[in-house]
Structure 1
């Protein structure tokens, strides 16, 4: 499968780490966030990385060039930050078939292969990695509900009062049908074209979306303390001693 990575974000909540670089280039355990994404997607058999860039995009292109460890990279420019559905539409012309989608601000040590396997073997319309989070944190994410068959029946983006604490983690597989849904999506109350609204359109059109429960962990790196948490977990995973982040020490 091709792999799309959304990496156009400015990362204002990560300041000062993003004062001179895009969010995707913030280092976690000695590597940019985007490198962590590429490594996981390459392990899953990605045949091409299609990267959506925006803020300080030249930093990403200059760092990676046109390939990563033998996997070709195609860049797509999101000129304005109008939401994830808008970002996804910028890659439509580059996608040939079913594809993986990863948000470029996540670090995963989890069962992503189960999502890809479900897409390949069952030819699902889409499959998402989901996890339960503390109720007080659910409003930070796209919240979803499921039926008894493990299919997603509703999705709402960052609700003030979450109906469940089951959230999307930032890793998905889709068929190209998602692009038609993105075209039909209208701006939300936040003024953005939300991926969750496009997903909801897929569901209402009768498409089946499978929810794969996460086995492992992931960290959504939205704040400096999240970056530190991701580093701690990565060091623990490889048995390395705990050390203070070099960037945190300099802040």
Structure 2
């Protein structure tokens, strides 16, 4: 499966960290956010990385060149920051089947594999990793409504009055049907071509989009304090893994033996 990484943003809220680099190149726990994204996508079986670049794109291209860990990278240039739907259209010519999409300013320690598995097993038109957030934070995100079957029935981008507290997290799988919807999107009140509007068009046309609840955590690195929080969580996770490994090496069982063993 191919994987698309959206990494064209300027990261103005991360300044001064992004004065000389795009936000995907801001380091978290010693490596760029994009490296965290690439590692997860390769774990999920990505056979090609399609990276959408824009602001200071040469920093990304010079760092990764044409491959990462043996996986080829294809770059597409979003010349003007006109929204995620516009960014996605820059890779349309390179996509020939279902694909993964990740926002390149997110750090995940979560069940991304469940989203990919749902896309492969059910051949849905899309599957999203979604998260419940406090109601007072929902208006910062694309907010979803779902039906009794766990299918997304509505998506609203950054609403003043959120219909739910279930939000999109920045990891998706899509069929190529999303591109036709992106072509039909009109500029929002923010003047951007919103991915959520393209998703809404898919829903209106009768396409099926499954919601997969987040198990784990993710940090949208939008501010310097978000970077600090992501580093703290990664360090905690590494410490727990080290402690578990040491316990096993010392002969402590990692599962309880049955009485009949």
Normalising by structure 2, we get a TM-score of 0.91
Q: How far off its partner does 1:150 sit?
A: 0.1
Residues 86-101 of structure 1 correspond to what in structure 2 (within 5 A)?
86-101=86-101
Q: How far off its partner does 1:136 sit?
A: 1.1
- In 2, Cα distance between equivalents of 1:227 and 1:133: 19
SS at 2:127's partner residue?
strand
Residues 1-251 of structure 1 correspond to what in structure 2 (within 5 A)?
1-239=1-239
- In 1, Cα distance between equivalents of 2:108 and 2:35: 12
For this pair of structures, how many residues does the alignment match? 240
Q: How far off its partner does 1:236 sit?
A: 0.3
SS at 2:206's partner residue?
coil
- In 2, Cα distance between equivalents of 1:222 and 1:134: 18
Per-residue Cα deviation, 1:17-68 (whole angstroms, up to 9, x for no partner)? 0011001100000010100000000000000000000000000000000000
Per-residue Cα deviation, 1:196-246 (whole angstroms, up to 9, x for no partner)? 000000000000000000000000000000000000000000108xxxxxx
SS at 1:239's partner residue?
helix
Structure 2 segments unaligned to the other structure (5+ residues): 241-261
SS at 2:73's partner residue?
strand
Q: How far off its partner does 1:160 sit?
A: 1.1
Q: 2:259 is matched with which residue?
A: none
Higher CA-based Rg = 2
Per-residue Cα deviation, 1:77-109 (whole angstroms, up to 9, x for no partner)? 000000000000000001110000000000000
Runs of 4+ residues over 2 Å off in structure 1: none
Q: How far off its partner does 1:161 sit?
A: 1.2
Structure 1 segments unaligned to the other structure (5+ residues): 241-251
CA RMSD of aligned residues (A): 0.6
Q: 1:248 is matched with which residue?
A: none
Q: 1:246 is matched with which residue?
A: none
- In 1, Cα distance between equivalents of 2:229 and 2:137: 16
Normalising by structure 1, we get a TM-score of 0.95
